[in-house]
Amino acid sequence: MPTPSLPTLYFDTKRRTEEKDALNSLPAEILSNVSLFLDWGDLARLSVVQSTWKDVVPDAANFGGRDATWELAMCLLGGDKSQEEETCHVEAHPQNTRGLQKNEKLAIKYLTNLSGVLVDETQLPQIASSSENESERECNSILPNNFRAPDGSAAAADEEALLLLAKCHLDGTGMSSPNPAVALYYLQAAYHMTKSVKAAHTLALIYEYPQHSNNLIPIDVYAAFEWFKAAAEGGCVPSMAELALCYELGCGVAQSDDNALDWYMKAAEAGCSSAHYSVGEHYEEGRSVRLDHEEACIWYHRAAVMGEEDGVRGLKRLEDVARRVVPDVGGILNV
């Protein structure tokens, strides 16, 4: 169904219950057909020039359901939004407000209703500052197994709305200041209530790399590992590679070349170019597998073909072997 749109019955009700004016004196069928050519900005202008139609924008969102409400919120935020694959954050594209004035606070209201999750901020753990000791930070970190679902049905939760609300609360969009505790809760709710591996991957990145929380949430490598693991087991390919790196470096978990190689292999099989290089490294150095430079070159070549500069460097490191076992490798080595 195109949005915004309103049913004939809506206009018929207006004609019967509201005082007559030049617009609602028209037949309901005509009004309904005319509304199909109106965008959100047109409805907003109508709502301020005629009191009879003051609620036409939220009414159109309610009638249009989830897609209409999402579309209206995006316009109020100042443009369309889309999921950015690697970080699973929500990034802005060029503005497309559909004739509406930007109103971030109102957009947050629509997104909150759409999310299906109500947050009781008094029950949320405080975010420990980076100056506080490690043990206290661990206690305050959000982990996959310590979530208490809010009242209501998980079926009503909306993954996209929860992810975008989390980003807005980290950025302070539509509010007086950022609220990282609420952002973390929305992400955790998205993971548990919508099975969102994007949310799990985002939580892992937040705990591993401070820039993903605008430096509002301290690093916690143990929490990062747990969330990378949850996302990887859910099929998130970037998390598979990150989880493998955690095992390789012993970051947030006991070091294990066996587990590292296992997850690098899974990530490579799922199409991760950097994981191909990492598998090659294991063969080159004989970690968890027999030392095999020929096999290493095969993996390095796959990485190089996929655009990984490390793959090219690996081939150059083992150039004599590479020229012997990899067909047409000269084009890569001679660049």
Residue 12 has pLDDT above 90, yes or no: no
Per-residue pLDDT band for 28 (boundaries 50, 70, 90) equals low
Whether residue 268 has pLDDT greater than 80: yes
Question: Residue 335 pLDDT more than 80?
Answer: no
Residue 246 DSSP symbol: H
Tell whether the model's pLDDT for residue 83 goes beyond 60.
Answer: no
Report the distance separating Cα 199 and Cα 181, nearest Å: 15
> Before 150, cis peptide (omega within 30)?
no
Pairwise CA distance, residues 328 & 74, whole Å: 49
The pLDDT of residue 67 is: 93
Q: Is the predicted pLDDT of residue 14 greater than 70, yes or no?
A: no
Question: Residue 333 pLDDT more than 90?
Answer: no
Q: Is the pLDDT of residue 88 over 70?
A: no
pLDDT over threshold 90, residue 279: yes
How high is the pLDDT of residue 295?
Answer: 97
- How many C-beta neighbours within 10 Å does residue 69 have? 21
Average pLDDT, the chain: 85
Degrees to nearest 5, angle at CA 301 with 300 and 305:
120
Cα dist. 263→46, 74, 214, 248, 315 in Å? 57, 37, 29, 10, 22
Give the model confidence (pLDDT) of 104-161 as tens digits: 999 999 999 999 998 888 888 777 655 445 444 444 688 888 777 766 566 789 999 9
Average pLDDT of span 71-89: 66
pLDDT (0 to 100) of residue 327 = 87
pLDDT at 87: 42
Closest listed residue to residue 100, CA positions, set 132, 71, 143, 120: 71
Amino acid (1-letter code) at residue 132 = E
Most confident range, picked from 9-23, 52-66, 305-319: 305-319
Please give the Cα distance from 92 to 168 (Å, whole number).
12
Residue pair 6/63 in contact by the 8 Å Cβ criterion? yes
Q: Is the pLDDT of residue 86 over 50?
A: no
Q: Cα separation of 109 and 173, whole Å?
A: 12
Are 73 and 162 in contact by the 8 Å Cβ rule? The answer is no
pTM assigned to the model: 0.85
Question: Average pLDDT in the 250-271 region?
Answer: 98
Q: Which of 9-18, 42-51, 168-177, 286-295 has the lowest mean pLDDT?
A: 9-18
